[in-house]
């Protein structure tokens, strides 16, 4: 009875490690699978199979990304009107197609100046980009309208109006919290004014809670003509000198 010949193995002595013969065997298998080279002809990109090219493309592929998308307005005082906005963006690579909201964009653009606008409330823009494999990403930027909080020093008074508040420093923000430093001389008190809808304020001065009282609520008209209810807080003591106040 004839003895059956064992199948050739690329592994040395039937083990787990390739010897030189086994390595050559695997290289030959991959050449046969991925390369169409004709005898006597130098390799070119046309000699590689579609399957091989796809593997290389898969390794090199990076999905489209919008690195940044910004506008030059961001936070705006309530009552203001925005007539122009500059949008800027960047990609990790050139997209196949891009849109700003529903408007088709030139894929080479990285900024757009919007003019003739009449924006008086919160506004958002959406940028979308699609790459050569039809992967799509989006990113947004927007304008938010908020009112300000006001702080500073002034002489002791119990009569408040919009003019009084407008003389203080202003910070546009959507919440009551603030940390600020002022210098109140001998006869000056520290004042903090905030939209009533932001809620009651707590104060901490020099690590101690308190030291402020609410002394009034008025209908305040800001510099952009918007009117709403504001609460006015005053330090209980005058002449606090260089003082850091934390509002919460």
Average pLDDT across each block of 10 residues of the chain; the chain has 248 residues. List them in order.
52 56 57 55 60 77 97 98 99 98 98 98 99 98 98 97 99 98 98 99 96 98 99 98 98
Q: Walk across the sheet containing 212-221 and list its strands.
A: 169-172, 148-155, 188-195, 227-235, 212-221
The whole-number pLDDT of residue 54 equals 74
In a domain, 193, yes or no: yes
Residue 67 near residue 91, CB atoms below 8 Å: yes
* Sequence-separated (6 or more) residues with CB below 8 Å from residue 214: 200, 201, 231, 232, 233
Q: How far is CA 31 from CA 27, 54, 176, 223, in A?
A: 6, 16, 70, 76
How would you classify the pairing of strands 103-105 and 97-100? antiparallel
Whole-model pTM: value is 0.75
Using the 3D structure, point to which of 95, 125, 145 is the last residue of a domain.
Answer: 145
Same-domain check for residues 100 and 186: no
Looking at the domain assignment, is residue 47 inside a domain? no
Q: Which token pair is 52?
A: 């091989």
Residue 55 is predicted with a pLDDT of: 78
The packing angle between helices 50-60 and 20-34, to 10°, is 100
Tokens of 155: 């002489």
- Rg for the chain, CA atoms, rounded: 35
pLDDT of residue 63: 97
> Which of 145, 161, 186 is the C-terminal boundary of a domain?
145
CA distance 109 to 111: 6
Contact between 193 and 218 under an 8 Å Cβ cutoff? The reply is no
CATH number, domain at 109? 2.60.40
Domain range for 158: 147-247
Residue 166 maps to a domain: yes
Find, among 174, 211, 216, 210, the residue nearest to 193 by Cα.
216
């Amino acid at each position: 009875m004839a003895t059956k010949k064992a199948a050739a193995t690329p592994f040395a002595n039937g083990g787990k490690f390739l010897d030189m013969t086994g390595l050559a065997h695997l290289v030959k298998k991959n050449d046969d699978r991925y390369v169409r080279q004709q005898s006597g002809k130098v390799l070119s990109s046309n000699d590689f199979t579609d399957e091989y090219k796809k593997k290389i493309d898969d390794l090199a592929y990076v999905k489209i990304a919008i690195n940044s998308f910004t506008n030059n307005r961001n936070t705006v005082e309530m009552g203001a009107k925005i007539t122009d906005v500059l949008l800027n963006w960047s990609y990790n690579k050139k997209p196949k197609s891009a849109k700003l909201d529903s408007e088709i964009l030139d894929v080479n653009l990285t900024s757009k100046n919007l003019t003739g606008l009449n924006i008086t409330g919160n506004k958002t823009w959406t940028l979308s980009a699609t790459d050569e494999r039809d992967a799509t990403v989006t990113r947004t930027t927007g304008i938010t309208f908020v009112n300000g909080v006001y702080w500073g020093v002034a002489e002791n008074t119990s009569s408040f109006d919009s003019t009084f508040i407008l003389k203080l420093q202003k910070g546009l923000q959507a919440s009551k919290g603030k940390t600020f430093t002022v210098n109140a001389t001998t006869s000056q008190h520290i004042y903090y004014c905030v939209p009533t809808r932001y809620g009651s304020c707590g104060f901490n001065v020099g690590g101690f809670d308190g030291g402020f009282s609410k002394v009034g609520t008025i209908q305040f008209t800001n510099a952009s003509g918007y009117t709403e209810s504001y609460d006015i807080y005053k330090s209980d003591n005058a002449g606090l000198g260089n003082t850091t106040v934390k509002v919460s």
